[in-house]
Amino acid sequence: MKKLIVVGAVLAGCLTGPAVGADLPVGAPVYVERPPAIGLLNWTGFYFGANLGYGRSPGSMDIFAGGGLPVLSLTDSMGGVIGGIQAGANWQTGNAVFGIEGDIQGSSQSVSGTTTVIDVNGFINLPGAVITAIESEKITSFGTLRGRIGMASGHALYYLTGGGAFWTWSSNLTVTGLGTASLSHFQPGGALGGGEFALNPDWTVKAEYLYLQSTTISNTPFVARPDVLANTRIRDNLFRVGINYMFFTGSVGCRPHVC
């Protein structure tokens, strides 16, 4: 009988234990503040801005007469300040960034020079005559429309860029025995370069190099001598810094410092 009483007491304790435990008060959950996320930079979006820099163009003009070798070769380097505005858009996938950008620039690049040669074959004047060419040349404006491909790394974007270019170019040319001519063109060409964007919240700054080259500019500038041809080609080296305001629209990652 004593054994039955002990077993019964043990069973009763086991049955009532969970019920008592269920009635115990439950403590409030402990809130642990989530550490702030460090944003993965997403460059997807639009931007616009301004730039300022320097351009150096080792220009050349070759003057042909009679369809032979050039009688005159004028080589001078135009240099000057450049500045303008740009706008574009980027799309990012992973670390790769693809984009398009256009810009319009004003330019003070100009040069003046004098070249003297002997007309050995008499293509322009008498054989052995001394010929003097005086030229002034300038680029007043240019622009580009380029694609871009880059790699995002931290708060920077390293990219290569290439596409089309155009110039507003003019020249005044005086040649002994031919007279004076004024030339001007709206000339197409190509562009290739690269640079880096460094981020600071909604703004970016950039340093960029571009090489621009025009197609050949051909003229028959002297009415009295339609057989005289002047060929020019613009080769422009541009160094510039700029600032952009960004309109981020990407949904992957975070805006700078904001998740």
pLDDT tens string 97-139: 999 999 999 999 999 888 888 876 777 777 778 888 888 999 9
Greater pLDDT, 122 or 8: 122
Could you tell me the pTM of the whole model? 0.76
Domains of the chain, residue spans: 41-248
For 41-248, CATH gives 2.40.128.90
The phi-psi region of residue 39 (left if phi > 0; otherwise alpha if psi is between -120 and 50; otherwise beta) is: beta
- Residue 232 reports pLDDT greater than 60: yes
Mean pLDDT over each residue of the chain, to the nearest integer: 81
Q: How confident is the model at residue 36 (pLDDT cuts 50, 70, 90)?
A: very low
| CA atoms within 13 Å, Cβ hemisphere of 201 | 2
Which amino acid appears at position 54 of this protein? Y
Within a 10 A sphere around the Cβ of 132, how many other Cβ atoms?
A: 13
Q: What would the mean pLDDT of 50-78 be, rounded to a whole number?
A: 85
Structure tokens at 160: 């290569």
Residue 64 in contact with residue 45, Cβ under 8 Å?
no
* Dist. CA 240–CA 51, nearest whole Å: 6
Q: How large a percentage of the chain has pLDDT more than 70?
A: 78
pLDDT score recorded for residue 92: 92
* Dist. CA 55–CA 242, nearest whole Å: 15
pLDDT score recorded for residue 225: 85
